[in-house]
Amino acid sequence: MSSVPVWIDTDTGVDDAIALMAAIALQRQKKLEIVGISAVCGNAEQARTFENARNVVNLAGRPDIPVYPGASKPIMVELQTAAYVHGEDGLGGAALPASGAPKETEMAWDALYRCARERKGELELILIGPETNAAIAFQKYPDLRDYLKRILIMGGAAIGGNRTPAAEFNIWVDPHAAQMVFKSGVPLIMCGLDVTTRVELNPAEMDEIENCDSAACRLFRESTKIARNMYSRGGEDVYYAHDVCPVLYVVYPELFSGVESGVFVETRGTITRGQTVTDYDTDVKFGVKNARVILGADRQRFAEILIDLLKSI
């Protein structure tokens, strides 16, 4: 398998950082080629997520991977961040050395479009934060859809939510942007909470990571405390590496199972804002199947692969 060219758009928070580390490890194995990374507001302010993404690729020994700045607020609603999961700094208090790489000034949407055209339609877009940058790119460059092979998101949920009972965080933060992505016409893989909460890391697996001294394992150890306390809620200590799912899907699709579905986003609801309304289990369908909704995965194999990747970086 030749390396797949990908672009990762991220609101670098804790699980984003883990996903970036995994992607860089896959690049080292020549299974992925990270063409570019772009930062978006979400888990934290964009200025913070931009620095976090730069510092993570630097920590992984790849300060040469370009990180581009992106949107500082959602398209129509006000930004509401997630310090309750990721801490005020977005990385759960983990202290990373500052990258010395030159700061890119080309905006995310311009750089994404440029690179998508250069890759002649082979670029795969991975969205692991609110989808504001992607939406702006589609607005500014309507033919971007002709130059993306597919879009893989961590976002949404066919059933339930986490930021509200009806909506997953990435979609809730910017529902208008997400709607534009779901309506883009580009083939879309939706790794929502339906699958990301089924590939949790268990205590033994987290111990294995924490007993390793690689940069990625140290980052996992230092950054996940807030999230693990919240996810565990007094029960079993688990960690959901949500954003890793679309990254591993690119290289190991056989780990996952899903259903072609119609999915559209509630943009006007109050208690249902950001719901990804999904038709795979309804009698009457939307009449279009615009997303493959991932519902299951081989949890043990997912964890084994992720642990090996984190140990290698």
Site of interaction with ligand RIB (CB under 6 A): 11, 13, 15-16, 42-43, 128-129, 154, 162, 168-170, 242-243
| Per CB under 5 A, 16 contacts Ca ion | yes
Helices vs strands, H then E, count in the chain: 13, 10
Smallest distance from ligand RIB to CB 284, Å: 29
| Residue number of the CB atom closest to ligand RIB | 169
- Considering the complex, state which of residue 36 and residue 129 has its C-beta at the smaller distance from Ca ion: 129
What ranges in 201-298 are assigned the alpha helix state H? 203-210, 215-223, 225-232, 244-251
| Per CB under 5 A, 128 contacts Ca ion | yes
| Per CB under 5 A, 156 contacts Ca ion | no
* Residue 282: DSSP 8-state: S
Residue 89 near which of ligand RIB, Ca ion, none (CB within 5-8 Å, type-dependent): none
SS3 265: strand
Smallest distance from ligand RIB to CB 26, Å: 18
- Considering the complex, state which of residue 141 and residue 182 has its C-beta at the smaller distance from ligand RIB: 182
Smallest distance from ligand RIB to CB 135, Å: 16
Q: What angle do CA 56, 57, 63 make, to 5 degrees?
A: 130
Residue 169 near which of Ca ion, ligand RIB, none (CB within 5-8 Å, type-dependent): ligand RIB
- Considering the complex, state which of residue 40 and residue 147 has its C-beta at the smaller distance from ligand RIB: 40
CA distance 212 to 183: 43
Q: Which of 54, 57, 68, 52 is nearest to 23 (CA)?
A: 57
Which residues are part of the catalytic machinery? 242
H or E element that contains 179: helix 175-182
Residue 156 near which of Ca ion, ligand RIB, none (CB within 5-8 Å, type-dependent): none
Contact criterion met (CB below 8 Å) for 63 and 33: no
